[in-house]
Amino acid sequence: MARSAARFIGIDSVVFGAPDLAEPRKLFTDWGLKKVKDGKSGLVFATEIGSEVVIRPSGAKDLPPRLAGGSEFREVIWGVSGAKELDAVERELSRDRAVTADKDGTLHSVDDSGVNIGFRVWRHGKEPARSALPLNVPGARGRVDKPSPMYERARPFRMGHIVFAVPDVRAGEAFYVKRLGFWLSDRYAGGAAVFLRYAARADHHNLFLMKRPGGADLNHVAFEVHDIHEVFGGGMYFAKAGHATAVGPGRHPISSAYFWYFKNPLGGTIEYFSNPDYVTEAWKPTNFRVNHFSEWHLMEGLPRPEQSADRPSLNAVRAMS
């Protein structure tokens, strides 16, 4: 398949099964997504631009099967720029595997790692033009008479990337690059992992594959928020709501993004992230030989205010003076 800078737009939706809808209802409400559907047939939550997390009862007849790893993750659906692009994907994949189509035109298939994948014409919003609050650095005070923002909770903007553990990273890379036109951003040596993006000009990675014996499964889904302050504000709110930190907050050396991961009872983890690298055709991939997961991170999250020592009272401060 020939490369096309406009072919893929983003992650349209991810689909989970759930034995009980109550737990994911609370999880994704607390996460900051907008609930757009809630009924016996399942739940649908949306990011700010409208991309969706879909949760359906585990026993639903037309729900894609579990992956070999056994989590409740079922499918990732990629958004493409138009009907011609969707037809091109169908022609390419139909050469050697089953491809089915829903009444709305959504395609469903399976990649070479055993991950259930779908494709549909992008139906959500795109990134609006917005100005970021400038930073203050030595010699350049761009933010004047304006405090940095604080967030009571996060409102995720979009799903930026998805990560799978797969038995053969090289085979996974070949499928996405040669068959779907994804671009290589970076690798870990020896077939340990690969960072891929769906367009020449995109975030550092939209898909990350990491080697693990025993069959494919979800590692995490990453939700972009507006800045590092929202990573912290959202993480503090989510932790206070009773959800367990997996790792973070912290910062990735590869992609430069700030992160905070939380455990997802449906499978893997979910991540708040902000400030990822944006790369182009000029980017030169690196073959890393040392683990660069984080520049720094906290293992158990930040302590909540009620876990910390009480702040000094006004009377105590006066007594110190």
For residue range 39-59, list pLDDT tens digits in order.
Answer: 999 999 999 999 999 999 999
- The verdict on residue 320 lying in a domain is no
- The verdict on residue 110 lying in a domain is yes
SS3 content of the chain, % helix, strand, coil (to 5): 20, 35, 45
Q: What is the pLDDT of residue 4?
A: 46
In this prediction the pTM is 0.93
- The verdict on residue 135 lying in a domain is no
The mean of the pLDDT values for the chain is 92
Burial track 270-293 (b if 16+ CB lie within 10 A, e otherwise): bbbbbbbeebeeebeeeebeeeee
- Residue 12 backbone dihedrals phi, psi, to 5 degrees: -75, -45
- Domains of the chain: total: 1
- The verdict on residue 30 lying in a domain is yes
Which tens digits make up the pLDDT trace of 263-318? 999 999 999 999 999 999 999 999 999 999 999 899 889 886 665 555 566 666 66
pLDDT band at 126 (very low <50, low <70, confident <90, very high): confident
**pLDDT score of 86 more than 90:** yes
Q: What is the pLDDT of residue 103?
A: 95
- The verdict on residue 56 lying in a domain is yes
Which tens digits make up the pLDDT trace of 89-106? 999 999 999 999 999 999
- The verdict on residue 269 lying in a domain is yes
> Mean of the pLDDT values across residues 132-155?
90
SS3 300: coil
For residue 71, give both structure tokens.
Answer: 């989590």
Return d(Cα 318, Cα 308) in angstroms, integer: 22
- The verdict on residue 317 lying in a domain is no
- The verdict on residue 16 lying in a domain is yes
Which tens digits make up the pLDDT trace of 231-252? 999 999 999 999 999 999 999 9
Contacts of 267 (CB under 8 A, 6+ apart): 16, 69, 71, 72, 73, 217, 218
CATH number of the domain bearing residue 165: 3.10.180.10
Task: Quote the DSSP letter at residue 307.
Answer: G
> Mean of the pLDDT values across residues 64-71?
94
Q: How many CB atoms lie within 10 A of CB 263?
A: 15
Q: How many CB atoms lie within 10 A of CB 311?
A: 9
Domain of residue 83 covers: 8-126+155-297
